[in-house]
Amino acid sequence: MSDVALPALHDLLATARVVALPLVTRFRGIDVREALVFEGPEGWTEFAPFAEYDDIEAATWLAAAIDFGWRTPPSARRDVIPVNATVPAVDADAVPAVLERFPGCRTAKVKVAASDQTLEQDVARVRAVRAAMGPEGRIRVDANGGWNLDQAEHAIHALAPFDLEYVEQPCPDVAELAEIRTRTKYMGIPIAADESVRRADDPLAVAAAGAADLLVVKAAPLGGIRRALDIAERAGLPFVVSSALDTSVGLAMGAHLAAAAPELDFDCGLGTASLLAADVTRDPLLPRDGAIDVRRIDPDPALLDRSRADEDRTAWWLARLERCHAILAEGPGAPSGDAGLADRTG
């Protein structure tokens, strides 16, 4: 656990910059990704919980950002991280162009179960990915909890012919995950849990319930690299390291998490800089030969200026930062003085 004291708010605000980065393709219902970056003693870090998340949830993301900016990451076991391509909920004929943005990637994660699309569109998209990647490529699908039990069962049957590596978060809650895992176990397609880990009051509940075969682990929503590693270790399941459509600054945190993992059995969801039409650095963490490097990112001042969010959005993010900082400082059970930052986040 972290032994970093909570920095003063003015220390965060001193270098805080809010950016609005356009996406190449609409993703998670957005066309622009907003993020707040700031610099700590160890380097630049990122605070970028999605806009719809409440302050309690967002405060955990701030704890992770502070941990990465104020504390040296755990020792790295590797300096290059294999990553997957990420295919948004695009039409099937757009798949080849998306995959071209991920050179050398041998695995693709395909978004499915979007509220404005049909299962037939999902099947067509996955079929196009399989055709583009060939029989040796690995395909995983991510429903983001978008199906109920019957929909999930029907969809997994429909997608099974494309030789899925796993299905990520087919249903929204732990009980449903356990049930769909039971219903489809004979098919031999593993079930992965994402939201049931990173957005849960108890991130270990999904493992305790036998509701998943593997976990998707993300540093920012779990409170930082060390806390994510601790959760993965205590869960006792294989895990995939991923991210949340971050800038290259945020992806660097995920890369350091993957670098410190005892084992890395799956390609990581850390190649999403390829989905951004702009970034904060001239040397972004883009996939090369199917992998990204483990390194910190120093934003380019000119690019920060070019992507600066407008006045209203900047004020919104700075106010959010202040509220989340207050939660970390004064939240229930938060220790005072020089106690560990991770203890403040549960």
Write out the two tokens for 179: 């049930």
Does the annotation flag 168 for ligand binding?
yes
Asked if the model's pLDDT at residue 2 lies above 80, the reply is no
| Domain boundaries of the chain, sorted by first residue | 9-72+301-344, 80-293
pLDDT tens by residue, 5-16: 999 999 999 999
CA distances from 322 to 11, 13, 51, 252, 341 (A): 11, 9, 15, 24, 16
Does the annotation flag 142 for ligand binding?
yes
Asked if the model's pLDDT at residue 44 lies above 90, the reply is yes
335/233: higher pLDDT: 233
Give me the half-sphere count of Cα atoms (radius 13 Å) on the Cβ side of residue 108: 31
Whole-number percent of the chain with pLDDT over 90: 91
DSSP secondary structure string for all residues of 304-325: HHHTBPPHHHHHHHHHHHHHHH
Catalytic residues: 111, 218
Write out the two tokens for 112: 């499915």
- The CATH label, of 3.40.50.2020, 3.40.50.2300, 3.90.650.10, 3.30.390.10, for the domain at 9-72+301-344 is 3.30.390.10
pTM higher than 0.75:
yes
Nearest to 119 by CA among 168, 150, 159, 90: 159
CA distances from 242 to 33, 152, 255 (A): 17, 23, 9
Per the prediction, the chain carries an average pLDDT of: 94
Q: What is the mean pLDDT of residues 144-157?
A: 98
Asked if the model's pLDDT at residue 346 lies above 50, the reply is no
Q: For position 331, what pLDDT does the model report?
A: 62
Helix (H), strand (E) at residue 140: strand 138-142
Phi, psi of 283 (to 5 degrees): -130, 70
Assigned CATH class of 80-293: alpha beta
Give me the half-sphere count of Cα atoms (radius 13 Å) on the Cβ side of residue 327: 19
Does the annotation flag 230 for ligand binding?
no
Write out the two tokens for 314: 């900047």
Pairing mode, strands 85-87 and 107-111: parallel
pLDDT tens by residue, 262-281: 999 999 999 999 999 999 99
